[in-house]
């Protein structure tokens, strides 16, 4: 190994939540996508292209994320998996807010490993639809940076607010 090169290995505990949403898959998916709208890539792209002030990014983010989050990416896993004969429906998402992420990024850009947050809406073998995600503070706390850990805990609370808006149970450990 070259002198001065370093490898850090961090082992961390992760809390994954799988919450019964009390609704059929398509109904809940539509509700989730109304509460967490798509990232308006064209509008943000225009801001980046002209080197807009951060204030404009904040304003567009506030208008675009009614519950604090936007969908940056979605993948309907079931469209591929059914080719193997699987029958379960599952859509996974990258959901987040780059304004919140920036508050951690300034301390360590590697936080982008966990931002945006991954969520999935899955229909289990029992036919029950669940929203599945890892507790945000599980990942961000692993950096050992108090400012990053603090935002991770804030994200726990913001996810709890989103869950309430979606009318699903909120795990007590998120609040």
- Residue 167 dihedral angles phi and psi, to the nearest 5°: 60, 45
pTM of the predicted protein model: 0.93
pLDDT digits (tens, 9 = 90+) for 14-25: 999 999 999 999
The overall average pLDDT reported for the chain is 96
pLDDT at 165 over 80: yes
- What is the percentage of the chain residues whose pLDDT exceeds 70? 99
pLDDT digits (tens, 9 = 90+) for 117-143: 999 999 999 999 999 999 999 999 999
pLDDT at 2 over 70: no
Query: What is the arithmetic mean of pLDDT over 31-55?
Result: 98
Note the Cα 175 to chain centre separation in Å: 17
Contact 64, 37 (CB under 8 A): yes
Query: What is the arithmetic mean of pLDDT over 46-65?
Result: 98
Architecture of the 17-167 domain: 2-Layer Sandwich (3.30)
Neighbours of 121 (CB within 10 A): 24
- H helix runs in the chain, sequence order: 25-35, 41-49, 54-64, 77-81, 98-105, 136-140, 146-165
- Residue 75 dihedral angles phi and psi, to the nearest 5°: -140, 120
- State the DSSP string of 18-53: EEE-SS-HHHHHHHHHHHSPBP-HHHHHHHHHTT--
pLDDT tier for residue 4 given thresholds of 50, 70 and 90: confident
pLDDT digits (tens, 9 = 90+) for 93-123: 999 999 999 999 999 999 999 999 999 999 9
pLDDT at 64 over 60: yes
Angle 54-64/98-105 helices, nearest 10 degrees?
130
pLDDT for the residue 1: 55
- What is the percentage of the chain residues whose pLDDT exceeds 90? 95
pLDDT at 3 over 90: no
Q: Give residue limits of the domains in the chain.
A: 17-167
């Amino acid at each position: 190994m070259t002198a001065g090169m370093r490898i850090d290995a961090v082992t961390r505990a992760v809390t994954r939540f799988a919450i019964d949403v009390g609704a059929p898959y398509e109904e809940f998916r539509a509700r989730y996508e109304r509460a967490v709208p798509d990232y308006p890539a064209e509008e943000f792209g225009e801001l980046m292209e002209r080197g807009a002030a951060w204030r404009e990014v904040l304003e567009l983010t506030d208008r675009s994320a009614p519950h604090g989050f936007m969908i940056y990416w979605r993948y309907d896993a079931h469209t591929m998996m059914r080719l193997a004969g699987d029958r379960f429906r599952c859509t996974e998402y990258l959901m987040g807010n780059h304004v919140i992420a920036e508050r951690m990024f300034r301390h360590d850009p590697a936080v982008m490993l966990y931002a945006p947050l991954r969520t999935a809406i899955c229909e289990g073998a029992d036919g029950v639809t669940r929203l599945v995600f890892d507790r945000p503070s599980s990942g961000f706390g692993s950096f050992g940076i108090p400012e990053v850990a603090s935002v991770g805990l804030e994200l726990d609370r913001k996810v709890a607010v989103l869950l309430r808006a979606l009318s699903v149970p909120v795990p007590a450990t998120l609040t």
